[in-house]
Amino acid sequence: MRYVVAVKQVPDTMEMSVDENGSLVRAGVPSVLNPYDEYALVKIRGIMDDGDELVVFTMGPPQAEAALRRCLQLGADRAYLLTDPAFAGADVWATARVLTAFIGKFEPGASLYIFGRQAIDGDTGQVPYEVAGLMGVRQFAYVDSLESDDDGILAVQDYGDMVRRVRVPEGSVVSFGSVDPNGVFPSIQDRLDAESKEIVRLDRVALGLGLYSVGLKGSLTRIVSTRTVTSARRNRKVEIRDPAKGAGFIIDELEALR
Amino acid sequence: MSGCEGGSCSTCSTCGSDDPDRLPPGMLAAYNLNQSTADGILVWVETVQGPDGPEVAAVSAELLGAARKLSDGRVFAVVFGGLEVKPLYPQLFGYGVDTLYHVRGKGMETYRPEPYADCMASLVRRIEPATILMGATSRGRELAPRLAAVLGTGLTADCTGLTADRRRMVMTRPAFGGNLTADIECSKFPQMATVRQGTFPRPPVEEGVGTAIYWQYEPDCESGILSDEKVAESSEDIRDARILISLGDGIRDRSLIDVAESVASKVGGMVSCSRSLVERGWMPRSRQVGMSGRNVAPELYIAFGISGAVQHRTGMSGAKRVIAVNSDPDAPIHGFADLSLIADAGDVLREMDRALSKKG
């Protein structure tokens, strides 16, 4: 069995700026592996048997290698970095195009293609399903747990108002629905092992994509303007040391509402 | 049109080829056939199981009302299900639907993203809407990208506003990196967007007439579904609450959730939370306020220990009054509150509970 996990490197902090095109400025912001992807990686490792293979890949700037290195420490066997200046500014469609082209050319026929629920910097969570749509395979969203039995793989999906138990065919896209807030810590041995593992770099040409299929040029949506949200709130800041007094303030507000 | 399959030849345009690239280039230029004729808005009507059968999801009703106002053209709706959906027709026409496609077929009653997307794609090719709208629900957020990929068009997720310039939509959504909202356009038709509940008012049901069309569709793959279990969700929804006691990362002691519940019950409110408490597993996702949770608009929003990241603020921006309690004077939430207390959230909560108990 071979499992392919798509990951993303995200800024560690919520303090991000945007350039004049409305795209994220990543320079100078510390980056981490998206916690949702990390969770997915750890989950999939949990159902792997000896001899199974775990492959990770990401699209991003050259620095995204750090996120892949972390995946290797967490037990991935191989890693690909899809990096090209032309990939910058991609929307969901252009991103999905690149990921799908990669899968088709370099890692076809895997048992499952795994994603995290969403990236913490974008919060939209649309990429896994566009990739599934482009690949024409089944998609399983909000997966809570996976187990494998003699007949294949079973998934439990949590839609919020409904829990679905479903059989997952080979080659499907699976997106995990949750995240582990505490994260995981690779052992020193795992860290050392990861150093010897290889990260393959692929650019646009290697994926066989045209210049107008990727990045900003290949995007089907574009940001026409951005506006600053101004807060129209009458702010009254009170520094209160005594909690009882603070509680009194709030209760007064609640009383006023009745 | 015997023997003529749409789009299979490039000799004439009578069979309505849906792919203008297949027409001779000279023809394209001469008749400007490259111009899409797409018009109108298609809304996916999501149904939720009510006590007496299916009901129109609140967000779908809102979108139908918005579609009527945004479009000079027709309003199309698509609904999936068996005969039990029929009683919803008058309501849907009352929201201003001109043409309702009711998809029936074996295996199409239960929601599944793949056949739903393929079926909607077949509909879209037939009716050529300029815009496709869905609610940004757990299902909509999964179905819309699938459909966008099948159709090869752009999608703007989680919109908090829509404006129209004739057929063209400008979709507004919060952008990361600051207190920004971005206006986004899609460069081709159909334009697609998922829209959050609460973005538009729920329209009144008026007298309306329209056409209902049965659309037969057979899914081409086995579902593999072993069971669908309804989760007994508390009937209360944080979106309906007048007062919200909202807890964030600053709440370090799990017992404080019970304290907050106690306070909420005494003041007639509900407890909501930020993402970190959901990730800790302390609160269900249905209680989460913010971009990956719900948009709320209570009379009073009291944020305890919430730092106020932009993702959270987006969800609470509809609140009439905001009180923030956070011991960090530099927390961004203070900039978005009418009253901010620089104090420990847990202590204030406990004191409130005590004071309210005394009042009894």
How much is the ipTM here?
A: 0.87
Given a cut of 70, is residue A140 above it in pLDDT? yes
Across the range B253-257, mean pLDDT stands at: 91
- Domains observed in chain B: 20-26+34-216 (3.40.50.620), 238-359 (3.40.50.1220)
Contacts of A162 in chain B (CB under 8 A): 228-231
Residue A21 pLDDT grade (very low, low, confident, very high; cuts 50, 70, 90)? low
CB spacing of B184 vs A222 below 8 angstroms: yes
Q: Are B59 and B136 in contact (CB under 8 A)?
A: yes
Stronger pLDDT, B156 or B31, i.e. the higher one: B156
Stronger pLDDT, A235 or B32, i.e. the higher one: A235
Residues 6+ apart with CB under 8 A from B215: B78, B101, B102, B103, B104, B119, B123
> Residue B46 half-sphere exposure, CB side, CA atoms within 13 Å?
25
Q: Report the distance separating Cα A80 and Cα A58, nearest Å.
A: 7
Distance of CA B142 to the CA centre of its chain: 11
Which pLDDT does position B178 carry in this prediction? 44
**Smallest Cα–Cα separation from B176: which of B311, B336, B313, B312?**
B311
Across the range A113-140, mean pLDDT stands at: 90
Across the range B335-358, mean pLDDT stands at: 88
Q: Report the distance separating Cα A44 and Cα A33, nearest Å.
A: 16
Given a cut of 80, is residue A182 above it in pLDDT? no
Q: Are B108 and B219 in contact (CB under 8 A)?
A: yes
Residues 28-47 of B with CB under 8 A from A: none
Contacts of A127 in chain B (CB under 8 A): 145
Q: How far is A16 from chain B (nearest CA, A)?
A: 4
CB spacing of A220 vs B276 below 8 angstroms: no
Residues 160-189 of B with CB under 8 A from A: 170, 174-188
Which pLDDT does position B219 carry in this prediction? 87
CB spacing of A231 vs B179 below 8 angstroms: yes
Give the SS3 label for residue B67.
Answer: helix
The greatest distance separating any two alpha carbons of chain A, rounded to the nearest whole angstrom, comes to 66
Residue B1 pLDDT grade (very low, low, confident, very high; cuts 50, 70, 90)? very low
| Mutation for B interface: A12, A13, A14, A172, most B CBs within 10 A | A14
| Mean pLDDT of the residues in chain B | 85
Give just the sign of the alpha carbon dihedral B183, A222, A17, B343: positive
- For A233, which residue in chain B has the nearest alpha carbon? B338
Q: Report the distance separating Cα A71 and Cα A5, nearest Å.
A: 10
Residue B55, beta-bridge partner list: B48
Residues in chain A: 258
User: Could you tell me the pTM of the whole model?
Assistant: 0.80
**Smallest Cα–Cα separation from A122: which of A245, A244, A11, A251?**
A11
Host H or E run for residue B120: helix B113-127
Domain ranges of chain A: 2-213
Sole residue written with tokens 């929804």: B237
Question: Residues B156-195: pLDDT tens digits?
Answer: 998 988 999 888 899 998 766 445 788 999 988 899 999 9
Distance of CA B287 to the CA centre of its chain: 16
Q: Report the distance separating Cα A120 and Cα A9, nearest Å.
A: 10
**Smallest Cα–Cα separation from B99: which of B215, B211, B207?**
B211
Which pLDDT does position B2 carry in this prediction? 40
- For residue B293, the 8-state DSSP code is S
Which pLDDT does position A30 carry in this prediction? 79
Given a cut of 80, is residue B11 above it in pLDDT? no
Residue B135 pLDDT grade (very low, low, confident, very high; cuts 50, 70, 90)? very high
Q: How far is B216 from chain A (nearest CA, A)?
A: 22
Q: Report the distance separating Cα A93 and Cα A213, nearest Å.
A: 9
Which pLDDT does position A244 carry in this prediction? 86
- A vs B, Cβ pairs < 8 A, gives 256
Given a cut of 90, is residue B12 above it in pLDDT? no
Contacts of B322 in chain A (CB under 8 A): 233
CB spacing of B311 vs A235 below 8 angstroms: no
Residue B220 pLDDT grade (very low, low, confident, very high; cuts 50, 70, 90)? confident
Question: Residues B86-95: pLDDT tens digits?
Answer: 999 999 999 9
Contacts of A225 in chain B (CB under 8 A): 182-183
CB spacing of B343 vs A126 below 8 angstroms: no
Given a cut of 80, is residue B207 above it in pLDDT? yes
Q: Which two tokens stand for residue B23?
A: 């027409």
CB spacing of B321 vs A253 below 8 angstroms: yes
Give the SS3 label for residue B87.
Answer: helix
Which pLDDT does position B25 carry in this prediction? 53
Contacts of B168 in chain A (CB under 8 A): none
Q: Are A181 and A42 in contact (CB under 8 A)?
A: no
Q: How far is A197 from chain B (nearest CA, A)?
A: 31
Q: How far is B152 from chain A (nearest CA, A)?
A: 8
Host H or E run for residue B225: strand B225-230
For chain A, the straight-line distance linking the first and the last C-alpha, in angstroms and rounded, comes to: 62
What's the one-letter identity of residue A169?
A: P
HEC string for chain A: CEEEEEECEEECCCCCEECCCCCEECCCCCEEECHHHHHHHHHHHHCCCCCCEEEEEEECCHHHHHHHHHHHHCCCCEEEEECCHHHCCCCHHHHHHHHHHHHHHHCCCCCEEEECCCCCCCCCCCHHHHHHHHHCCCEEEEEEEEEEECCEEEEEEECCCEEEEEEECCCEEEEECCCCCCCCCCCHHHHHHHHCCCEEEECHHHHCCCHHHCCCCCCCEEEEEEEECCCCCCCEEEECCCHHHHHHHHHHHHHHHC
| Mutation for A interface: B109, B176, B234, B280, most A CBs within 10 A | B176
CB spacing of B300 vs A247 below 8 angstroms: no
Which pLDDT does position B35 carry in this prediction? 61
Q: How far is B154 from chain A (nearest CA, A)?
A: 5
Rounded (5°) CA angle A67-A70-A76: 110
Contacts of A238 in chain B (CB under 8 A): 339-342
CATH architecture of structural domain A2-213? 3-Layer(aba) Sandwich (3.40)
Residues 6+ apart with CB under 8 A from A192: none
**Smallest Cα–Cα separation from A102: which of A205, A215, A220, A217?**
A205
Residues 6+ apart with CB under 8 A from A149: none
Question: Residues A36-75: pLDDT tens digits?
Answer: 899 999 999 988 888 999 999 999 999 999 999 999 999 9
Q: Which two tokens stand for residue A43?
A: 């989950």
Q: How far is B180 from chain A (nearest CA, A)?
A: 5
| Mutation for A interface: B287, B351, B356, B359, most A CBs within 10 A | B351
Contacts of A235 in chain B (CB under 8 A): 334-335, 337-340
Residues in chain B: 360
CB spacing of B139 vs A25 below 8 angstroms: no
Q: How many angstroms separate the Cα of B143 from the Cα of each of B28, B147, B305?
A: 33, 6, 35
Residues 6+ apart with CB under 8 A from A132: A113, A138, A139, A172, A173, B146, B149
CB spacing of A222 vs B347 below 8 angstroms: no
Question: Residues A10-19: pLDDT tens digits?
Answer: 887 555 555 5
Residue B215, beta-bridge partner list: B103
Q: Which two tokens stand for residue B92?
A: 């849907």
Work out the number of other CB atoms within 10 angstroms of the CB of residue A50.
4
Q: CB-based burial of residue B52 (10 Å sphere; 0-12 exposed, 13-18 middle, 19+ buried)?
A: exposed
Q: Report the distance separating Cα A121 and Cα A12, nearest Å.
A: 9
Which pLDDT does position B234 carry in this prediction? 57
Contacts of B178 in chain A (CB under 8 A): 16-18, 228
Which pLDDT does position A77 carry in this prediction? 94
CB spacing of B180 vs A228 below 8 angstroms: yes
Choose the closest CB to B184 out of A126, A167, A224. Answer: A224
